[in-house]
Structure 1
Amino acid sequence: MTAPYALQVDSVAKAFGGNRVLEKVGFNIRPGEIVGLLGPNGSGKSTLLNTITGFEAIDAGSVTFEGRRIDALSAHRIVQAGIARTFQLPSMPAKMSVAEVAMAASIEHHGIWENLFGLRAAREAEARAREQANALLYQLLLAPVRDQPAAAISGGQKKLLGIVCALMAHPRMLMLDEPTAGVHPNLRSDIVGALQRLNEAGMTIVIVEHDMHFIREVCHRCIVLDRGHIVADCRPDELASNERVLEAYLGGSAARPAAAGATAGPVLRMGVA
């Protein structure tokens, strides 16, 4: 029987010393959703992403993916379970090409097949990985730079390459950490299109992001954190009228229009730009 939720986060808590970063955070994500994870700086978004993907251990609660508890697994075991992620500032090696970096992200290219089954199996596995890498580089518009040094491509292209590397693990859920931060508007449009195509093919996606225009274009639902607590779980078009969201970004007094006829929408856009 298929689990009704792709991801279940239940009462997750995390502290660093005396700093309690997450306090009983809980939410569910259905298969095929694109969910934005929002909040002001210091709200706990990155820590939450790190706990789900195995880069930080939780202090309490549970994380379940497709009906299986994963909060005790290491990061690479969580990738094997079906969740892959990108990072806000991807660092790319100077002496590897774009295509080589994509190939290196494939488990089939790491020599395991030669060790287990011999040279022929290793060559077949490498051919499959190369075919997958080429297809993904084409799909995410990186085929023209496939032979360039990975460190020499633009910041936006590095973010696209980070998505390619995550997809090389054949995930069913993709978690992205600020995929449009510092990206040229033209490449931002490419990222939007790439994520929409992935979602249409069945990928569940979680996005940590500050760009509200991007969130409105891509996300089906938004979860908003403030000081380690969830303060909203709603559609993108409901954010601008949600008082708890406005208070999270601007504080209690700033969240309310000062004059009759003022609207919350522009205030929220200013708060997250």
Structure 2
Amino acid sequence: MSAVLKLRDVYKSFGGNHVLTGISFDILSGELVGLLGPNGCGKSTVLNAITGYCPIERGSIELNGQRVDALPPHEVAARAVRRTFQLPSMPARMTVGEVLMAASTQRHGLFATLLPSARTKHIEAQTRERARQLLDELLLAKVAHLPAASISGGQKKLLGIACALMGEPSLLLLDEPMAGVHPNLRTELMRVLKSINERGVTLVVVEHDMHFIAQTCARCIVLDRGRTVADCTPSELEHHEGVVEAYLGRTTKTATAPLRAQGTIGATA
């Protein structure tokens, strides 16, 4: 299986704050990988670097064998890469359905809208059907007519995922998709993400919800203080020295029991 994404010795600082200090890892085609670590360890910065929102200082980032670390976000996105954000901001004057339609990469610009051809009408119909399917799949059909800014925080997360999927990505990066999602929707969201992965989309998921990680991810990459400290299965997290130290600053001999009790690592693995 080939690597769709490669990070090699990636560094990034903000002033005197060294956020990434030599991050390296591979993501293989078709994987569903959890990207974990304590708050402030650099997880979101890694996603920003991959997608062109945050230029790196040293190292390299490759997608399917080609360097992308010097590309702007729209050129990275053109390589079938999509991402979501921790706190998605939605427009107040567009409905949920309109936001989803606007996210399509198949729709044409103003000229095609003013002078539609048979082909553009066909594309429009396909786009509407794709949007309808995603609204159903992500349990947003009932709010499709509402202003996108008025729905709940969890629904905005779901809409962000739906918008990313409208771009038909081969690599999807999710920044804490479970945060703010109602408990009743979490099981459904896990099912949806696994289904997306089974359809051939490679997923990298930043997440603190260990139940989600244990139930969905075959592999976990753990960051701490801007570096990679573990690359293992979810079941190995609880006893991994680097992981326990990252979360509690102690060794596994003294920290495993408290770590499990906190529900931070290993509670459901």
Could you tell me the TM-score, scaled by structure 1's length?
A: 0.90
Within the candidate set 34, 37, 55, 1:39 is matched to 37
SS of equivalent to 1:99: helix
Indicate if the aligned counterparts of 1:157 and 1:187 stay in contact, CA closer than 8 A: no
Indicate if the aligned counterparts of 2:107 and 2:127 stay in contact, CA closer than 8 A: yes
Indicate if the aligned counterparts of 1:104 and 1:110 stay in contact, CA closer than 8 A: no
Indicate if the aligned counterparts of 2:49 and 2:55 stay in contact, CA closer than 8 A: yes
User: CA-to-partner distance for each residue in 1:63-100, whole Å, 9 max, x for gaps?
Assistant: 11112211111111111101100011111122211110
Residue 17 of structure 1 aligns with which residue?
15
Letter in 1 for 2:232: C
Letter in 2 for 1:7: L
SS of equivalent to 2:93: coil
Change in 2 beyond 3 A, CA 1:112/1:158: same
Aligned runs of 1:49-68 on 2, under 5 Å?
49-68=47-66
Indicate if the aligned counterparts of 2:260 and 2:266 stay in contact, CA closer than 8 A: no
CA distance in 2, matches of 1:129, 1:58: 35
% identical equivalent positions: 53
Residue 240 of structure 2 aligns with which residue?
242
Post-superposition offset of 1:128: 2.4
Change in 2 beyond 3 A, CA 1:185/1:234: same
Which range moved further: 145-154 or 51-60? Answer: 145-154
SS of equivalent to 1:109: coil
Letter in 2 for 1:45: K
CA distance in 1, matches of 2:40, 2:245: 15
Post-superposition offset of 1:17: 1.8
SS of equivalent to 1:206: strand
Residue 135 of structure 1 aligns with which residue?
133
CA distance in 2, matches of 1:266, 1:112: 56
Indicate if the aligned counterparts of 1:88 and 1:178 stay in contact, CA closer than 8 A: yes
Change in 2 beyond 3 A, CA 1:113/1:24: farther
Indicate if the aligned counterparts of 1:224 and 1:245 stay in contact, CA closer than 8 A: yes
Could you tell me the TM-score, scaled by structure 2's length?
A: 0.92
RMSD: 2.2
1:114 is aligned to 2:108: no
User: CA-to-partner distance for each residue in 1:28-54, whole Å, 9 max, x for gaps?
Assistant: 111111100001011111111100011
Residue 158 of structure 1 aligns with which residue?
156
CA distance in 2, matches of 1:112, 1:29: 38
CA distance in 1, matches of 2:211, 2:241: 20
Indicate if the aligned counterparts of 1:250 and 1:271 stay in contact, CA closer than 8 A: no
1:98 is aligned to 2:92: no
Q: Which runs of 4+ in 1 moved over 6 A?
A: none
Aligned runs of 1:189-228 on 2, under 5 Å?
189-228=187-226
1:266 is aligned to 2:264: no
Indicate if the aligned counterparts of 1:13 and 1:25 stay in contact, CA closer than 8 A: yes
Letter in 2 for 1:155: G
- Structure 1 unaligned spans of 5+: none
CA distance in 2, matches of 1:79, 1:202: 18
Post-superposition offset of 1:257: 2.2
CA distance in 1, matches of 2:266, 2:144: 34
Indicate if the aligned counterparts of 1:241 and 1:265 stay in contact, CA closer than 8 A: no
Within the candidate set 59, 67, 76, 1:69 is matched to 67
User: CA-to-partner distance for each residue in 1:114-170, whole Å, 9 max, x for gaps?
Assistant: 28x952143333222212211211222222222222122222211111001001111
Letter in 2 for 1:257: T
SS of equivalent to 2:129: helix
Residue 233 of structure 1 aligns with which residue?
231
CA distance in 2, matches of 1:164, 1:19: 34
